[in-house]
Amino acid sequence: MSNIGYEEIARGVKLMCVNSGKFKTNCIYLDFYMPITDSLAAQYVLSSLMGHSSERYPTLKSFNAAAESLYGADFDSSVATIGEKTRIRFSVELPDDRFSLDGEKISQKAVDFLAEIIKNPCCKDGHFDEELAEREIRFTLENIEAEKNDKRAYAVSRLRQLMCSDEPYGIDRDKLENNVRGLDGKKLFDAYGEMLKKSSVFITACGTVDAQMLKRKFSGLFSGISGREPEKPETIFIEKADRVRYFKETMELSQAKLVIGLRTGMKDSADSYYAYRVMTDIFGGGPYSRLFMNVREKMSLCYYCSARLIRDKGIIFIQSGIEDENYQSALDEINAQLEIMKKGEFTDSEFDSSVCALSDAFSGVEDSPAAVCSYYSSQAFDSEILTGSEFAEKLGSVTREQVTACAQKVTVDSVYLLSNGENGDE
């Protein structure tokens, strides 16, 4: 059984330690959360810039060598939007100290490495190094372009933008790209200062990392930042769609993409969450789901069809790959399956399969240190921290009646079709 410690170690900085000796590696996540604002473009570049250099390790070669010196530690940096929050993450996975030579404290050196990245980036006189900044701006633009080439991801991104155009969640990718092009070392440094002063920080560690060492190192780091005033990100929850909006775009690809956005009726991320999770899974989760069994298997109207609950926004996205001529039939059948959910006409077998699959998945979240960190870090803003087993129990207590009640609150907001052209690639 893992021993879990959770406390606030500095203003707006929380530390979660899951102490377990069953793994051969340790994992640490250092997450910075901020509201989605016009600084998003800078935050995208910043995550990459700080993940590839620091004052002590200004080149990629020296930076990677420093990570390798930690017995081949796997270091990564990333940026994501979760609800209407931006999350910049720095993570490291490394061998447990007991596998080091001569009793070397690898985990302490890894924490020092993370602290170096945060405290001492490659800056001078209020600017990031311009050559490094230009390189990371180019990398970021290449990543944005790569998403456009992934038609499935692009279709979801476009629906998100169109459906939530008046909300911070509806990120305009063209605007984001233009904002990235307008960045320089000074603007990135300003965004770095904003991150240090305004972010809510959540640190997650799993393995045998010394919790007191983590607390000492990171509380000292963040307590030493002057003018720190963390802003807790807030999300707009729109409970109901007043009408259905339809959008269509054409692009050269071999398979059309149909994406549908639903408003769930959730008032916040905790509102009937477990029942909504089960409802979404029965509707479009695993191979036992109604969308898979009916739209794909029985009626052969699509290549894939699934539903995903965006808890932090109270939205469900349905994704489907179809032939253009099957658009209306697929849309009609998806709507018909939603009506079945609203009427509670799903079978006991479907309900039991969903609850069982979800419970099993969360009961096994401690399969690896990275999985543990990923699971607990997702609870950064929850009022109650649950173990995987406790989460599974919550799912297991959901009733058919609760699932039906949740389904009845769901409304269709937007339907987006990315129609295929000729001679395109998927």
pLDDT of residue 421: 67
Q: What is the CATH number of domain 3-223?
A: 3.30.830.10
Instruction: Give me the DSSP letters along 253-301.
Output: -SSEEEEEEEE---SSTTTTHHHHHHHHHHHHSSTTSHIIIIIIIIT--
Domain ranges of the chain: 3-223, 245-420
The CATH fold of domain 245-420: Cytochrome Bc1 Complex; Chain A, domain 1 (3.30.830)
pLDDT of residue 2: 63
pLDDT of residue 1: 44
Identical fold, 3-223 and 245-420: yes
- Report the C-alpha gap between 264 and 66 in whole angstroms: 47
For the entire predicted model, the pTM comes to: 0.94
pLDDT of residue 329: 97
pLDDT of residue 233: 86
SS3 157: helix
Length of the chain: 426
pLDDT of residue 422: 54
pLDDT of residue 425: 38
- Report the C-alpha gap between 345 and 348 in whole angstroms: 9
The list of the chain residues with pLDDT below 50 reads 1, 423-426
